[in-house]
Structure 1
Amino acid sequence: MAQARRLVRPLDAAGLAIMLGLCLVWGFQQVAMKAMAGAADPLLQVAVRSSGSAVLVWAYSRFWRRDRWLAGLTWREGLLVGALFGVEYLFVGIGLRHVGSGLMSILLYTAPLFVAVSLHLTLREERLTGRQWIGCLLSFAGVVVIFLRPGEALRGEEGAALLLAGSLCALLAGFCWGMTTVAVRLTRLSGAPFAQTLFYQLLGGALCAWPVVLAEGRTGWAGGLDLWLLTFYQTVIVCFASYLVWFWLLQRYLASRLGAMSLLSPVFAAALGAALLREPLTPGFLLATALIVAGLVTVMLHDRRERPRLLPPR
């Protein structure tokens, strides 16, 4: 009962400040990966950070929290969410080779749409309201704008084709993230310690990324201190510390409000990408971003039911 009371607590000033900080952390991670793409392939960065953070989460759960992990989940539920997470970040790593960090983040955050529609079709208590369907249509319209707009960031037919391929990878990554959430919602992982679920995801990311990196021969690590610092940032700050803070917030504040606030992350990513990497903010991209974020906020804020588990934003 105590946990239920914490879940319906509205956001206060402290929660708002912490969430803004988390959104900045999450928004910068795609920018960091793109910035270091010349020194280390994005998929190699995924492999390294997933491996390191999986070890950190396991050690934290075992030696600090002393969680009692649910038995019998590894080869079914654990394998499923691990594979979905791994494929998601395969698409992220490959997509970042061709599109900017802002576009990647915006399309990645279509995940809540896939969650909402999937749960609407499978669970009676998760039925969408009319306003939520309007939100889904708004976000879908934003996706259409992205795929119909010309390739302003790249020149020529080959550039436009690469931009389209990268955008499709980003959208598929969002789909896989959404299906990860659905898998947790519909399986016994919904009652498992959050560190157990997070460990399965991170381990799956590493196991999926490393074979592709090795097969493609993209193992070059040409960066210096800046690459190591950004790797530390992605591994320790993003995939470990920020996710622990996220789950701490979920124990204390209204999950739908936290989820809606997390949508600031792709907005920050687009702004940081433009400021630091000079990624173009074209009218078409800005229109698509506004439609997608407005639609997602509509879906999440009009859902008064609390989800038993929200996975950490990407």
Structure 2
Amino acid sequence: MPQARRAELDARAIILLLVCCVLWGLNQVAVKAALVEIGPLWQAGLRSAVAGLLVWLWALARGIRLFERDGSLPGGLLAGALFAAEFGCIFLGLQFTSASRMVVFLYLSPFVVALGMPWIARSERLGPRQWAGLALAFGAVAFAFAEGLAAPQGPHQWWGDAMGLAAAVFWGGTTLAIRATRLSAASAEKTLLYQLAVSALALCAAAVAAGETLPAQLSLRLLGLFGFQAVIVSFASYLVWFWLVRHYAATRLAVFTLSTPLFGLLSGALLLGEGISGRLVVALVALAIGIICVNR
């Protein structure tokens, strides 16, 4: 039986969410830095494969059964396919549109969750003040990336934007699929393993089909960047995220993900010397106000 979820986020959940969002923001920097040595599809596919192996070893060590029949296979395959489709749309879309535009379209995903969750759990319906807070939080992200939005990217920019919007739908759809199927009662380890296994197969196959080549040698720099993505982000932080999805209201969790791109900008400023603009400071303040409105 699916257990009752907490409607409000407690201090533990907020701290874990903020840590995850900071790590996901740092991950944007790690992915960007690694692209000079390895293609995006191989990068995404191989990190899913390594993280999936770690999840299996973690579950084995803790005595968590991953392969018993519990009726979660259809939901697991659906969530895994949506997870892989999200990354596929992101990487394909970036060939036609800018990273700034992709971020803004991608982080429409909390609206997908907010619109879909009442059909699954009526208790997670947002009120007018919460919708206003969600809109404010999204507006903060759009404001932070406004300068990149205006830059033209060529005649096929609309195609890249459409792929970004599709990625948002797939990301939100993954959360909804987890909550609407037998995965809602499965362990976080099993939920994550479904997505990592399916995405590893799909993305590595896409890398082969796209003609991406693997690096001839692995530098210490690449190993460090890839290790961070696979171990810290795809294994540890995603495991925490799916544990949160199992125990707390999805609509309250989704709005926190809007802080990820801003943490990415902040990480770039601190680690890559890109500078902290007044626009970013205003966006962070507006984001904080929006998150408070949704969760109070």
Instruction: Report what 2:171 is aligned to.
Output: 177
CA distance in 2, matches of 1:5, 1:76: 23
Moved more, 82-91 or 53-62: 53-62
Instruction: Report what 2:239 is aligned to.
Output: 244
Q: 1:298-313 alignment to 2 at 5 Å?
A: 300-302=294-296
Deviations 1:65-92 (A, max 9, x none): 4236551546411111110001011123
**How much does 1:293 deviate?**
3.9
CA distance in 1, matches of 2:123, 2:5: 20
CA distance in 2, matches of 1:256, 1:150: 28
**1:87 to 1:257, Cα distance in 2 relative to 1, 3 A:** closer
DSSP 3-state at the match of 1:195: helix
Instruction: Report what 1:306 is aligned to.
Output: none
Instruction: Report what 2:109 is aligned to.
Output: 111
**1:254 to 1:47, Cα distance in 2 relative to 1, 3 A:** closer
Moved more, 92-101 or 50-59: 92-101
Instruction: Report what 2:85 is aligned to.
Output: 87
Q: Is the 8 A contact 1:81 1:200 kept in 2?
A: yes
Q: 1:32-181 alignment to 2 at 5 Å?
A: 32-67=30-65, 71=69, 73=71, 75-97=73-95, 104-121=102-119, 123-138=121-136, 159-161=153-155, 165-181=159-175
**How much does 1:59 deviate?**
2.2
CA distance in 2, matches of 1:150, 1:5: 39
**1:250 to 1:137, Cα distance in 2 relative to 1, 3 A:** closer
Instruction: Report what 1:265 is aligned to.
Output: 260
DSSP 3-state at the match of 1:39: coil
CA distance in 2, matches of 1:256, 1:115: 6
Structure 1 alignment gaps of length 5 or more:
303-314
CA distance in 2, matches of 1:84, 1:207: 13
CA distance in 1, matches of 2:161, 2:63: 40
TM-score (norm 2): 0.77
CA distance in 1, matches of 2:247, 2:114: 23
Structure 2 alignment gaps of length 5 or more:
none
Q: Is the 8 A contact 1:49 1:231 kept in 2?
A: yes
Q: Is the 8 A contact 1:257 1:300 kept in 2?
A: yes
Percent of residue pairs identical: 36
CA distance in 2, matches of 1:16, 1:205: 28
DSSP 3-state at the match of 1:237: helix
Deviations 1:5-61 (A, max 9, x none): 98867316xx76655443322111122111221211112100110111111112221
**How much does 1:182 deviate?**
0.5
Q: Is the 8 A contact 1:91 1:169 kept in 2?
A: yes
